[in-house]
Structure 1
């Protein structure tokens, strides 16, 4: 009876020893994990978290470029910078231009992307990869390079667009110098450059539509439009939501197009909200520029939430 009693503490001590070993190994792995993530954490704190905190601080102060040496000696104006933005005629013009760009550009981009995806999905399969690459190439091309090329294409005297129009007897306008045609020109360029992303995503969604459903609806007498309306579109709703949200977020921040092609002209008809914010920053109005950037962020958040609310289709 004594042997089992003597063995029991030995087993317990061994279990405790192995438990301590496993605990020590877990702590060692945890420390190693923190050590490996330390470079990223430092970069994130220095180049992301701290600038964001500074911008929040700036948005509620009247800091300008002359105050950079004493940033903590500036006056807090609280929400005065935000109130100033709503009463600024230039910011109102920039907000209107941005809304115009988004309201017209986003639906056009989605329609062109969906049409291209449908054409590729139902077209010649052998050339599908070639067309996908060709349509997607503008997306991966530098926006500055694309804008410069389009500026030459739309030149009123020597541009290719007006040259082609002249062949058929049409006197083309000064596309980028006209208050009527400047913004539509920027929208056309943005649609041409960005529809490739939506096309690739829509094409992936179309290829996931079960062929059995399309064949069954065709047997039931549904024509091509009815199959698209009642079979394809409901299945593409999550894809449509994703493309709409990402395209809208990008267009709400459009900056390079007017900055390179029109400099905000003519008569400020192409100044965007992001470009106006950049101008205020370059003028040294850091507090005002920070407040404007957070207004843009707030608008993007509200618009995105509304799109998820009305396009997600949770009621289905």
Structure 2
């Protein structure tokens, strides 16, 4: 009875839309079908076939994987370093540092993206002024296909690492102080204690952070939409951006739903793979 409201909300806002999207992906639903539902036809897997034959889909998938490959390790590294910093008892003003590190996460995404767009501007951006101060040439961060994905990834890491920091911080606070004291008495330095005591103790939290980071990077949309509009030369268009473009720009809702189903499959695999690997590792260890 207590879980019924939550289960009902999940069914209404997750299960039913997922089933509806899957059904929609098997039709030719488009802007003409909106005017006359009689034009709606069942086309089977034709949308998926068209999607796999579309070079833009493979470009979007490659860009998304690049975001995942760059963003996930960066988020985990920055979040863990920040958590270690604010967890140290010798660090002054720890509550202030926690607020400073977490503030970007609660900032409005579109407003923060607009600010970063100007910070990364090729002519008068603050980052290029800093490069000029040390004698380096300016970089067209958002206008050069080579730099657009790293630039957006930098913004995403800054925007989202605060949430992962809280997860790491909660895990660090559960590490027994007795183990660290025993390792210190045995002569272990800071790095040895971190490697042999802290990291094994927070491994489950690190796995959770990794899964959440992968899922969030697969769902990138607002960042490239605001900062580059998918450019330059479609170098920052993501799978979710492609779904929006097909479904709500060109009103190919059937094809857009097919993109959504493929994205759902990618996220599902990314979320379940770490758990499956952990079970396999434990099974072999047993």
TM-score for the superposition, normalised by structure 1: 0.82
8 Å Cα contact 1:214/1:227 also seen in 2: yes
Corresponding residue of 1:9: none
Other structure's SS at 1:269 match? coil
Structure 2: gaps of 5 or more residues: none
Of 245, 248, 264, 2:214 maps to: 248
CA apart distance, 1:314? 3.9
Corresponding residue of 1:295: 262
Quick one: distance in 1 between partners of 2:14 and 2:85? 42
Corresponding residue of 1:121: 87
Corresponding residue of 1:225: 191
CA apart distance, 1:55? 2.0
Quick one: distance in 2 between partners of 1:82 and 1:224? 53
8 Å Cα contact 2:141/2:147 also seen in 1: yes
Q: Sort the Cα spacing of 1:51 and 1:122 in 2 relative to 1 into closer, same or farther, 3 A.
A: closer
Other structure's SS at 1:176 match? coil
Map 1:96-175 onto structure 2 (within 5 A).
Answer: 96-122=62-88, 124-175=90-141
8 Å Cα contact 2:85/2:91 also seen in 1: no
Quick one: distance in 1 between partners of 2:24 and 2:278? 36
Structure with bigger gyration radius: 1
Map 1:55-66 onto structure 2 (within 5 A).
Answer: 55-66=21-32
Structure 1: gaps of 5 or more residues: 1-29
Quick one: distance in 1 between partners of 2:83 and 2:19? 43
Q: Sort the Cα spacing of 1:276 and 1:217 in 2 relative to 1 into closer, same or farther, 3 A.
A: same
CA apart distance, 1:69? 3.7
Quick one: distance in 2 between partners of 1:251 and 1:199? 17
Q: Sort the Cα spacing of 1:48 and 1:201 in 2 relative to 1 into closer, same or farther, 3 A.
A: closer
CA apart distance, 1:112? 0.6
CA apart distance, 1:300? 0.6
8 Å Cα contact 2:75/2:160 also seen in 1: yes
Map 1:187-202 onto structure 2 (within 5 A).
Answer: 187-202=153-168
Q: Deviations over 1:37-58 (max 9, x none)?
A: 6xx969975x666544432221
Quick one: distance in 1 between partners of 2:103 and 2:129? 25
Quick one: distance in 2 between partners of 1:302 and 1:83? 21
CA apart distance, 1:223? 2.3
Quick one: distance in 1 between partners of 2:63 and 2:219? 12
Q: Sort the Cα spacing of 1:147 and 1:81 in 2 relative to 1 into closer, same or farther, 3 A.
A: same
Quick one: distance in 1 between partners of 2:115 and 2:20? 38
CA apart distance, 1:87? 1.5
How many residue pairs match? The answer is 280
Q: Deviations over 1:120-144 (max 9, x none)?
A: 2125454110000001000001110
